[in-house]
Every structure is written in structure tokens, then in C-alpha cells.
Amino acid sequence: MVSLGGRSSGPPPRPVWAPAGLDLDRPNAARVYDYYLGGAHNFAADRAMAREAIADWPDLPLIMQANRAFLRRAVRFVVRSGISQLLDLGSGIPTVGNVHEVAEAENQDARVVYVDRDPVAVTHGQALLSGNANATIIQSDLRDPGSTLALATATGLIDLSEPIAVLLVAVLHFVPDTDDPASIIDRYRQAMAPGSCLVICHASPDQQPRRAATHQELYSRTSTPMTMRSREAVAALLAGFGLVEPGLVLMAQWRPEDESGLPRNAQRFPGYAAVASRL
């Protein structure tokens, strides 16, 4: 957004660039998420909001970890199934359980492009990934598939004629209905080669409606308000994709690696996850 500043008799008004990520007085979703995961890439405003959220919903850090655990399982799954390029949309600050580390552990040649619109997350990611030839981060808004795909392709790490895994993990609930997430996903779908797949994890109020409502209310103060969606609404976003077993399920139920307690308590971790293949 461009707004005009400047004094009446001074120099011509100039646009003030104030991306949400640089406003340290307001909580930022990427940094709050980092706090939930126990990171220190955050500031007082982020922590204040995170603590307020945790006070109402103590499981939040665990839920975020479960989400990261799903991400790791899903990345492992898609790389093992032969996909060697990944596009992580809305990656945030890529710290804990990095996609590229998981992917490279399975396939040395796996390539990862992270995408985020937050300049701080991008700057941080660039520092983290410097020296890594197979992973990079670009600044783009995933709601603009055209630009995002163009920039991602321009890195040289992504070839859209080959199968690709597009990751939309814990980010679509920051895309309101007014932005028409279904058509955004469809734009990506059309760009994806046959054999590609989509990894999705989406917050939902289905299991804990009251806490979810309070949580959404908290986020409405940030520059990234949340739109949690029902299972039905999330399923509707996956039109044109075929679901990989076990389909669209609670995140802890998606191909658990052991019975360490999470799958049995799957209701504690609300939010739906799926890996979907492009039809």
C-alpha cells in the first residue's frame, strides 16, 4: 500500500514502506510461531501475544510441534515417493525441523525453495541457507501464484515440467475467503506437472471451537488474522487433487511413525492434514 507522508511545504510526499514484518511493536505470525516452537527469533510483542494464547490454550506449543512433525513426515513421504523438488509456501522463519534438511537426508539432490512475504523471515532464511546450493528462500506473496512461480522458477532450483511438491503447511488459515484460496490453489495446481503433489495442513475449529474462537480473536490483532476452516471447507480447497492414504485427517493421524501417544490423543491437535496428488 502506498500512502502519502510529508509536510505541506516540504519535499513531495513520499511513500512510506512499512511491511508488517518490520513493525516490531506488533506481533508477527512467523515470530509468534517461532516462540511456540521454543525459538528465540522473536520480540517482546510476539512473546506477549504467544503467552496470552498459551494461557488460554496450553497445548499450543505441542500443537505447533505436532504440525512440524507432520511436515517432517510428509516431506519424507514425498521425497521417498520420488519427488525431488519442493516449494514451501509461507515457510515462515525456517528453523526447527527444516524442510531442506529432512529432504536432503532422504535424497542428496533434493531442492527446496522457501517462500515467504515477510522480509525478516526472508532475510533470516537467506542467512541460514547461505552456502546451501540446493535450498533458497524468496520473498513473495503466495496469494499471487503468477509472481511466486516466476520467482521460484527463476532460482533455477525448480523445474515445473517435473513433478514438484507444493507445501501449504500451516499457512492457508492466514488466507481469508475474500482472497479466494480455492482459486489460488487451483492456479498452482495448473502449474504443477502430473505426478506432483500438494502437502496441506490447516487449522480447524472442529475439535475445540471455543479455544479456536479465542485464538482467532487474538490473531485478529495482528497483520495476519486467521481463518480456521472446517474439514469440509478444507476438503473443498483440494478440488482437482486425489488424496493419498489416509486422506484428509487430523494431523497426528497422518501416517504416524510410532504410537508415542500423539495418535491416540489426536483430538488434542486440531487441524487437518493431507498429501494430495495432482490428478
Partner 1 sequence: MTDQDVSSGIGQGSDPLAETLAGTLARAIAEAGFALMSLAEIEDLTRGWVPELLHVLEREGADLEPARRIGMALVDANMTNPGVLETALEVLLDHLPAGRWSSTVRAAVAAGYAAGLRRATLAEQEQIAGAIIIAYARVDRMARESEARFRALFDGSAVGIGISDRTGRVVQVNQALATLLGYTVDEMCGFWVPEMTHPSDPPEIWDQYRRMMLGEIDHVRMEKAYYRKDNAVVWVDLTVSLIRDDQGNPQFAVAIMDDMTDRHHLQATLSHQALHDPLTGLPNRSLFAERIAQVVATAGPQSRMGVCYLDLDGFKRINDTLGHDTGDQLLITIADRLGRCAEDRGHLVARMGGDEFVLLVERSAGMGQLAALAEAALAVVAVPISVGPHRLRVTASIGVVECPAMGADLGDILKAADVTLYRAKAAGRGRWLAYDPGTVAELVAGYELCAALPDALERGEFSLVYQPIVGLSDGRPWGLEALVRWHHPSLGLLTPDRFIGPAEETGFIVQLGQHVLREACREAAAWRERFAGGELFVSVNLAVAQAHEPSLVDEIKRTLVETGLDPSQLQLELTESALMSTAGAPLEALRALADLGVRVAIDDFGTGYSNLAYLRSLPVHALKLPQQLVGGLRGPADRSKIDERIVDALIRLAHAIELTVTAEGVETQAQAEQLSALGCDSVQGWHIAKPCSADQLDRVISRLGRAPHLPGPRAEPKSS
By the criterion CB under 8 A, which residues form the site for partner 1? 3-4, 6-9, 12-17, 19, 21-22, 24, 31, 37-43, 61-62, 65-66, 68-69, 72, 93, 95-97, 119-124, 127-128, 256-258, 260-262, 269
Residue 221 burial by CB count (10 A; 0-12/13-18/19+): exposed, middle or buried? exposed
Q: Which is nearer to partner 1, 77 or 269 (CB)?
A: 269
Q: For the CB of residue 54, give the shortest distance to partner 1 in the complex, in Å.
A: 11
Q: For the CB of residue 188, give the shortest distance to partner 1 in the complex, in Å.
A: 26
Q: For the CB of residue 19, give the shortest distance to partner 1 in the complex, in Å.
A: 6
Q: Which is nearer to partner 1, 109 or 258 (CB)?
A: 258
Cα dihedral angle (36, 38, 44, 45), rounded to 10 degrees? -10
Q: For the CB of residue 70, give the shortest distance to partner 1 in the complex, in Å.
A: 10
Question: Is the sign of the CA dihedral 259, 264, 270, 276 positive or negative?
Answer: positive
Q: Which is nearer to partner 1, 46 or 111 (CB)?
A: 46
d(CA 47, CA 41): 10
Q: For the CB of residue 34, give the shortest distance to partner 1 in the complex, in Å.
A: 8
Q: Which is nearer to partner 1, 66 or 172 (CB)?
A: 66
φ, ψ of residue 151 in degrees (nearest 5): -65, -40
d(CA 242, CA 262): 26
Q: For the CB of residue 181, give the shortest distance to partner 1 in the complex, in Å.
A: 26
d(CA 16, CA 5): 7
Q: What letter does residue 38 receive in the DSSP assignment? A: T
Directed axis angle between helix 44-56 and helix 60-80, to 10°? 100
Q: For the CB of residue 116, give the shortest distance to partner 1 in the complex, in Å.
A: 12
Residues in CB range of 267: below 8 A, 6 or more apart? 207, 250
Q: Which is nearer to partner 1, 137 or 164 (CB)?
A: 137
Q: Which is nearer to partner 1, 53 or 262 (CB)?
A: 262
Strands 111-116 and 249-250: unpaired
Q: Which is nearer to partner 1, 98 or 196 (CB)?
A: 98
